Amino acid sequence: MSEQTIIQEDEITLKELILKVKEFWKELWKYWWLIAIIALPFVIYMGYKAYKSEIIYPANLTFMVNKDEGGALSSFSGILGSFGLGAGTASGDFNLDKMLQLLKSRKITEEVIFTKATIDGTTDYLANHLINHFDTLKLWSKEPSILNRKEDKLKGFKFTNVSVQDFTILENAATKRIHGKLIGTEKTKGLLSSSYDENSGILSINVNSQHEDLSILLTQNYFEKLSKFYTDKTIEKQKVTYDLVKSKSDSIYNLLSSSEYQLAVLNESSRGVFGEKEQLKTQRLNREIQKLTLMYGETAKNVEIADFSLKSKTPFVQIIDTPISPIKPEKKSTLLSLIIGGVLGVFVGTFFIIARKIYRDTMA
């Protein structure tokens, strides 16, 4: 009996649910005009927002960095190690995330924006071109408001000095603001974005701005500065080692050349007739030349090994595709925005009608 009672209760509950759904549907159908009125502002707002949205010029650049697989270098590491030059020569690890984090650093941004470029016939620092661009869109300086009536100190600001070490507080503030608008913040999206494919290892740099030339120049400059900075930092240790060994080799070579020249002068002045003093000096010079010759041979070998270590460690950043003009502009679809606004408005209207009915039924 208990099982039958449970089944009957379940059937009654399902029946009530179906009736309640029909009741809600009739309520929605009855007040469809109210849903339409609620949805209308959403449709108008989304359509107006799409209509007023700026045209975007997306510039995309793809590149890849070689990964050292070891191979022949691993067999050579023993030789390099015997000279103290093998450490870190054959590293097979490459962190793509590290590359993209470097891209968003203020160091790279400073090198990019303080490069001169010609846009619309005007040659100036990219920083000033960006300020003009943001100012045109009314996104550079903040206008006084009811809560804050002070005028923005960066209004009308332009860079005249690009020595970052000597920047004033105002110049630092302008640099940080440009960096924020390029990279983005937690609340807003910046002009610059980046990504990589884990399978292929191909990285991409993207800049979306309302100016075609600005998008292309920023993308290319970011790649160039990032590539150079990453390469320099990767081979920094090997470069120092190579410079030291090369300097030592050049110094020994200069001493050897000087000793050989002194011996030649002595032989020429004596004309084959040597006194005891001249013979002693000749013997000393010959011994010095032999010693320096052996030393130079060793240092020259070390230079070759250091050079090999430097070249094997140097990453090869290979560009794949670069942005070229003309770039196909992108703009928010008005039709799609209207549809999204309509769906959102209908959802809000439906929720309002159902909530109102539930409240009325409960209070009744």
Q: What is the pLDDT of residues 4-38, one digit of tens each?
A: 544 444 455 777 777 777 877 887 788 788 888 88
Q: Is a pLDDT exceeding 90 seen at residue 113?
A: yes
Structure-model confidence comparison of residues 332 and 191, the more confident one:
191
Last residue of a domain, one of 233, 254, 269: 233
Residue 339 lies in a domain: yes
Average pLDDT, rounded, for the chain: 80
Residue numbers of the domain that contains 300: 239-313
Q: Is a pLDDT exceeding 80 seen at residue 363?
A: no
Structure-model confidence comparison of residues 175 and 256, the more confident one:
175
Beta-bridge partners for 329: none
Cα 127–chain centre separation: 17
Whole-number Cα distances in Å, 202 to 4, 199, 284: 65, 8, 62
The alpha carbon dihedral of 46, 49, 50, 56 has a sign of: negative
Q: Is a pLDDT exceeding 80 seen at residue 67?
A: no
Asked whether residue 184 falls in the same domain as residue 264, the answer is no
In terms of Cβ atoms closer than 10 Å to its own Cβ (0-12, 13-18, 19+), residue 55 is exposed
Tokens read off for 295: 């030393």
Report the pLDDT value the prediction gives residue 275, as an integer from 0 to 100. Answer: 63
CB atoms under 10 Å from CB of 182, counted, come to: 20
Query: Do 196 and 100 touch, CB atoms closer than 8 A?
Result: yes
Report the pLDDT value the prediction gives residue 172, as an integer from 0 to 100. Answer: 92
Residue 210 lies in a domain: yes
Asked whether residue 24 falls in the same domain as residue 64, the answer is no
Asked whether residue 113 falls in the same domain as residue 201, the answer is yes
Last residue of a domain, one of 233, 256, 285: 233
Asked whether residue 284 falls in the same domain as residue 339, the answer is no
Read off the pLDDT of each residue in 64-71 and give the average, rounded to a whole number.
Answer: 61
Asked whether residue 135 falls in the same domain as residue 217, the answer is yes
Asked whether residue 117 falls in the same domain as residue 60, the answer is yes
Structure-model confidence comparison of residues 197 and 77, the more confident one:
197
Structure-model confidence comparison of residues 280 and 287, the more confident one:
287
Asked whether residue 223 falls in the same domain as residue 148, the answer is yes
Q: Is a pLDDT exceeding 80 seen at residue 75?
A: no
Asked whether residue 165 falls in the same domain as residue 229, the answer is yes
Asked whether residue 157 falls in the same domain as residue 226, the answer is yes
Asked whether residue 165 falls in the same domain as residue 97, the answer is yes
Residue 108 lies in a domain: yes
pTM (predicted TM-score): 0.70
Asked whether residue 64 falls in the same domain as residue 44, the answer is no
Last residue of a domain, one of 233, 263, 286: 233
Q: Is a pLDDT exceeding 90 seen at residue 364?
A: no
Residue 325 lies in a domain: no
Indicate the number of domains in the chain: 3
What is the C-alpha end-to-end distance of the chain, expressed in Å? 35
